[in-house]
Structure 1
Amino acid sequence: MNTENMENIYQNIANVLNDMLPEEWSRILLYAEIREGYAHIFFYYYPINSKKPIYSLKIEEKFNLDIQRYSELENQLYDYCEELWHEFGVQQQEEWTSLTFILDNNGKMKVHYQYNDLSEIDPTSKRKQWEEKYLP
């Protein structure tokens, strides 16, 4: 399996996440669910010296951001996650249904893939299950 393209996509995802955050951070946890014709992504990040994560949808409310620029970055994030999903097919690997991408500010990265059918579970329930598993 050729992983070079996948590694580049992971790096692009990390770069976009970093650009989206308006303050220094210690850890980012991203959830992406992709299937043909559907994409849902959210993330949490921990500001430096904070034990309380900030939900991605709260960033615009909490900080005075350039909304157009933030939307462009958000679109890039969706594009890269979809590109990663498609790359699994190109590499003749089973396409995942969701992933959790964990990035520490020292550059350490972990990716957890899930392959179960999530189409019958509502987005709020999925997010709560994910939060219980990944947020302390």
Structure 2
Amino acid sequence: MTAEQIEKCYEEIAHQISAMIPEEWTTAKLYAESWPGYTTIYFYYDSADNTLPILNLNIPDLFSVDPDDFLLQKRLLRRTVLALQQMFSEQDMETWTNFTLILNHDGTFKAEYGYEDLKELDPGEKREAWKVKYGIEYKR
């Protein structure tokens, strides 16, 4: 795995997130968790109009977005994130179990990987802990 391949994957994830957001935004925070038999991927974004963060899964309900097109975009994002994880595996690097990408509208980003075994933890509790860690206040 080369740094160039990883960079390209980050760029593709950033492009896909941006394409899914139907309004001006400032920051998006993606969480992915994956191990054999389980995958979850979602993101919250901050609207430029300073409302509370919006969960990507709520976009079709909040905006005039074609639900079928949105589902295709979600699947594409999932494939790209999992391709990033596969790059680690193919290069005999420690394969992450969770991944956070903090993306700013100007294209700058920060990526963080976790390697702990998350199988026994409650998904809701993990999401809440992640939201607290990354300062996501969500009330929708």
Smaller-chain TM-score range?
A: over 0.9
Secondary structure of 1:100's aligned partner: strand
Residue identity matched to 1:117: D
RMSD, matched Cα: 1.2
- Report how far residue 5 of structure 1 moved: 1.3
Counterparts of 2:58 and 2:73, CA distance in 1: 15
Q: Equivalent residues in 2 for 1:73-112 (5 A)?
A: 73-112=73-112
In structure 2, give the amino acid aligned to 1:56. N
SS state at 2:73 partner: helix
Shift of 1:92: 2.2
Structure 1-normalised TM-score? 0.95
For this pair of structures, how many residues does the alignment match?
Answer: 136
For residues 33 and 84 of structure 1, what CA distance do their matches in structure 2 show?
12
- Whichever residue aligns with residue 131 of structure 2, its letter is E
Paired with 1:52 and 1:100, the residues of 2 have a C-alpha distance of: 20
Q: Which amino acid aligns with 1:112?
A: E
Tell me the distance in 1 between the aligned counterparts of 2:49 and 2:107: 17
Identity level (%): 38
Cα distance in 2 for partners of 1:76, 1:66 equals 15
What CA distance in whole angstroms lies between the structure 2 residues aligned with 1:8 and 1:35? 23
1:2–1:91 Cα contact (<8 Å) kept: no
Q: Which amino acid aligns with 2:10?
A: Y
- What does residue 29 of structure 2 align with? 29
Q: Provide the rounded CA distance (Å) in 2 between the counterparts of 1:46 and 1:118.
A: 27
Give the TM-score, by structure 2 length. Answer: 0.92
4+ runs deviating over 3 angstroms: none
